[in-house]
Amino acid sequence: MPDPVIRLGVTGLSRAGKTVFITNLVANLLERGRMPQLSARDRIEAVYLQPQPDLTLPRFAYEDHLAAMTGDAPHWPQSTRAVSELRLSFRVRGAGFFGGLVGPRVLHVDIVDYPGEWLLDLALLDKSYEDWAEGVLARMAGRAEARDFMALARAEDGALALDEPRAMALAAAFTAYLTAARAAGWSDCTPGRFLLPGDLAGSPVLTFAPLPKPAHRPRGCLWSEMERRFDAYKARVVRPFFRDHFARIDRQVVLVDVLGAIHQGPRAVEDLRRTMAEVLAAFRPGRNGWLDRLLGGHRVERILFAATKADHLHHHQHPALTAITEALLRDARSRADFAGAQTAALSLASLRCTVEEDITRGGEKLEAVRGRLADGRQVALYAGELPGDPARILAPAREGAERWLNADFSMMGFAPARAARKPGEGPPHIRLDRAAEFLIGDRL
């Protein structure tokens, strides 16, 4: 019998912290000195990297990423531009009296990394061109980044015959909007390949844009051609991506930069909430025939919802961050519970860059953190007081408030710390051991 395999899905929008999570999880599983919550720790005889099963995918550049974060001049890895894969294997002694008798078992964990932009496309699986275009046009209407595209789109008549240069101009203007929207902190930037086309750049599947539906749609008109390309994008780009990398995952971790969104303001929080709900809906069993045929009854058994970058906060505030994360992802979580998956939520830092420190500001003692910025300066940060009741964050977000009332939340671009590591220890983290225990601990 082949050795058992767990496919671990790492789900997160761009900059959520996937690459940093995978690298530091693997580093801390290879060297387990900082993993006390991993219950099988004492029974693990060896952990090693293996050739991955899929020979056509690039290997996840684990060593390069780790060297970047833990070298002499520690820095973050680059934003991911393509899919890559890694296989981590465990040799474990069985638990209990009989466990010692049967000899060690082997378990493989397969992990895939990919650009977060592409994840957004899962939200398209359920949508027709008409629905997508309507939603996108309604949301972008109020955004400054959309002005040029909106002017171009308004001057267009979708009922006229397709004119390829005009279609290309629309797609280019829409891509410019998406790029600006992402830079401004909006999450809902579909289609993801417009931002990061890979080898599809310039192809007709990427030459469309949202247009209002004209009353009459003669054969070959612009609108109908855009619809055809949108459908092709779903069938030829999004479905294969989902099929190859997400369909058969056994365990899933959903990484969310909740602090980053709170820092951006209420509208970014609401945008993140809606986008994650749409993306995670793609994993809902029984959703559509295509997916059910593909899954053939396969189910995600465990899902961990994790707020990343928790090292921006003193640990006293971590429960509040976790509560906000749970509330933000409530729909996805109840759906997963209903489908029989076990779920949990926590706040973590894949690579801890700060130490806790009390500071005094205006005569008040604040529980802050201290870390190093990219330019080498040491700074103390008090991120703000997260409310214990998540509704105080989520309600203004839903109501479309422009800014937080009486509150300010800050983030900082901390750089990885230069840390001396003892033998047998991985890089410093917060709760990666709990995350690992929930995700794979029961199978070790």
Ligand X SMILES: Nc1nc2c(ncn2[C@@H]2O[C@H](COP(=O)(O)OP(=O)(O)OP(=O)(O)O)[C@@H](O)[C@H]2O)c(=O)[nH]1
Residue type, position 111, single letter? I
d(CA 37, CA 322): 18
**202 in the Ramachandran plot: left (φ > 0), alpha (ψ -120 to 50) or beta?**
left
| Closer to ligand X by Cβ: residue 308 or 322 | 308
CB atoms near residue 313 (< 10 Å): 28
CA distance 396 to 270: 9
Structure token digits, residue 192: 């993801």
Closest separation between CB of residue 350 and ligand X, Å?
4
Angle among Cα 143, 145, 150 to the nearest 5 degrees reads 80
11 binds Mg ion (CB under 5 A): no
* Span from 76-84, 278-286, 418-426, 433-441 in contact with ligand X (CB under 6 A): 76-84
311 binds, among ligand X, Mg ion, none (CB under 5 to 8 A by kind): ligand X
Among 66, 259, 346, 353, binds ligand X (CB under 6 A): 353
The answer to whether the CB of 432 falls within 8 A of the CB of 348 is yes
Q: Which one of 9, 44, 52, 76 is in contact with ligand X (CB under 6 A)?
A: 76
Candidate segments 10-18, 169-177, 178-186, 392-400, binder of Mg ion by CB under 5 A: 10-18
Q: Does 19 bind Mg ion (CB under 5 A)?
A: yes
Query: Which one, 116 or 426, has the nearer CB to ligand X?
Result: 116
Q: Are 198 and 82 in contact (CB under 8 A)?
A: yes
Q: Which residue is nearest to ligand X (CB)?
A: 116
Q: Interface with ligand X includes 317 (CB under 6 A)?
A: no
Stretch of 73-81, 128-136, 244-252, 272-280 lying at the interface with Mg ion (CB under 5 A)? 73-81
Does 80 bind Mg ion (CB under 5 A)? Our answer is yes
17 binds ligand X (CB under 6 A): yes
Residues in 131-170 at the binding interface with ligand X, rule: CB under 6 A: none
- Rule CB under 6 A: say whether 306 interacts with ligand X: no
From the list 156, 188, 311, 433, which residue makes contact with ligand X (rule: CB under 6 A)?
311
What tokens appear for 158 in the block?
Answer: 């979708």
Q: Is 309 one of the binding residues for ligand X (CB under 6 A)?
A: yes
d(CA 93, CA 377): 47
Nearer Cβ to ligand X (136/349)? 349
Per DSSP, the chain holds a count of helices (H) and strands (E) of: 17, 10
Tell whether omega for the bond before 191 is within 30 degrees of 0, i.e. cis. yes
Cα-based angle 103, 108, 114 (whole degrees, multiple of 5): 170
The only residue of 174, 208, 414, 438 in contact with ligand X, by rule CB under 6 A: 414
300 binds, among Mg ion, ligand X, none (CB under 5 to 8 A by kind): none
Q: How far is the CB of 19 from Mg ion (least distance, A)?
A: 3
Helix (H) or strand (E) holding 10: strand 5-11
The three-state secondary structure class of 104 is coil
Q: Using DSSP, state whether 410 is helix, strand or coil.
A: coil
Binding site for ligand X (CB under 6 A): 12, 14-20, 76-77, 79-80, 115-116, 308-309, 311, 349-351, 353, 414
Binding site for Mg ion (CB under 5 A): 18-19, 80
